[in-house]
Amino acid sequence: MYKIDFNSPSRVYFLGIGGISMSGLAEILKQAGFTVYGSDRKSTAITRALEEKGIPVKYGESASHIPADIDCAILTSAVRETNPELCAIKERGIPCLTRAELLGQLMKNYATSVAVSGTHGKTTTTSMISEILLAAGTDPTLSLGGILKSIGSNVRVGGKKFFVAEACEYTNSFLSLFPTVGLILNIEEDHLDFFKDLSEIRRSFRRFAELIPPEGSLIINADIPDYEELTRGLSCKVITFSCTQSRADYSVADVTYDSLGHPSFLLHSPVSGAERFSLKVPGLHNVGNAVAAVALADCLSIERATASSALGAYAGTDRRFEYKGSVGGVTVIDDYAHHPTEITATLSAAQSYPHKTLWCVFQPHTFSRTKQFMTEFAKALSLADRVVLADIFPARETDNLGISSENLRAEIRALGHECFYFPSFDEIENFLLENCINGDLLITMGAGDVVKIGENLLGS
């Protein structure tokens, strides 16, 4: 594998530089003195921000985009073998690294590297950890999967003591990392276009845990079925947390909610007796994320008062139950949920939020995920009073597997639940304008571009 010399900055080209993680890594290299170029399919707010920071971005796919003198190319999993830029890079013998391989090499430059893994909650938990480290004055370097509002970015370049990043299991990319502290928030079936089944996913998370050195720590959710199977025989320290089990090292009791669904809870831990925390983000799932963040803070010897204050001030991350505005008395929220468990968590949290009718506009993400979880999606979405479906967002997939949002609508209606489907955003927006009334709560939901619907309604 090609090794980047961080003491001798070189010229690096990013294919798919507009991705949230790729853009962050490009910024980190730019600030480290590297000459950075990149390309993406189209101009976005992210690519325009990169251009403003002095990183040239080409649009479309063309071999002519590749500079004559680059030393290395960074690839995402979305880049196909037929991509003309990738073909030109290989023909010229230019070394390539995956996004995860670059992230892993970066981790080696820091005294403590934190990798946050799990099927759900990575971005929120990484954001919570980031806020704690910032409040503690540790000057961390951060790489997140969403925009952290307090820094107005998904990346921060700090000192060489702490590096915090998300660790994604898709294509086993997290196995290219070098964490000294790892978190496993949860493990469920997902990305079944890559993994065969849940057993294979669990084996990958076990391999991730084995990456942590003997002097390091693994923080793991004890609510994961048979979690001991993942931790047995590890050389590192194992720390458990749970929202349901009192036997975990970090456990939760007496969870209450305010009028906006924001939870307050007692935390029992090895560091202190029962201590109450209050959050400004809704839902029991965020209690679990916060407890994992506190366990990490204790692991890094950060004062508990600092962690409590930072979590109490944390108001969420871009596209995670994000308040977008209000139009005609209708509150508009946007959320990234695209897995049945995430949808259940978000819509359950929304039950405590003031509303008359709860609307969910859902854009399924990838044909393979939609087909695999059709029944589970229908049950989860039925937690909303009314469901509106957009077309499936294909992302990296080209085969529709013979399904569409019509199939999901039929599944939801078979449960006796009201559901509507429109093939265009314009039709959805017109329907919502005619049917949502003062006091309703509208959540746009999905990992694609469904956020545009709420933004269009708000005129933003």
- Torsion angle defined by CA atoms of residues 299, 304, 310 and 311, in that order, rounded to the nearest 10 degrees: 80
- Give me the residue label for tokens 């294979």: 200
Classify residue 280 as left (phi > 0), alpha (psi -120 to 50) or beta: alpha
Give start and end residues of each alpha helix (H) in 187-276: 198-210, 228-231
- Sheet architecture: strand order including 96-98: 57-59, 35-40, 11-15, 72-75, 96-98
Strand duo 72-75 + 96-98: pairing: parallel
Q: Determine the Cα–Cα distance for residues 51 and 54; give it in Å rounded to an integer.
A: 5
Q: Which amino acid is at 60?
A: G
**Is the separation of the CB atoms in 316 and 149 below 8 Å?**
yes
Q: Name which of 33, 34, 32, 310 is nearest 157 in CA terms.
A: 32
Q: Report long-range pairs for 198-206 (Cβ below 8 Å, ≥24 apart).
A: 201/169, 202/229, 202/230, 204/169, 204/172, 204/174, 204/175, 205/117, 205/169, 205/230, 206/230
Query: Which residues are known to be catalytic?
Result: 122-123, 166
Which DSSP symbol is given to 392? P
- CA 124 – CA 286 distance, rounded (Å): 8
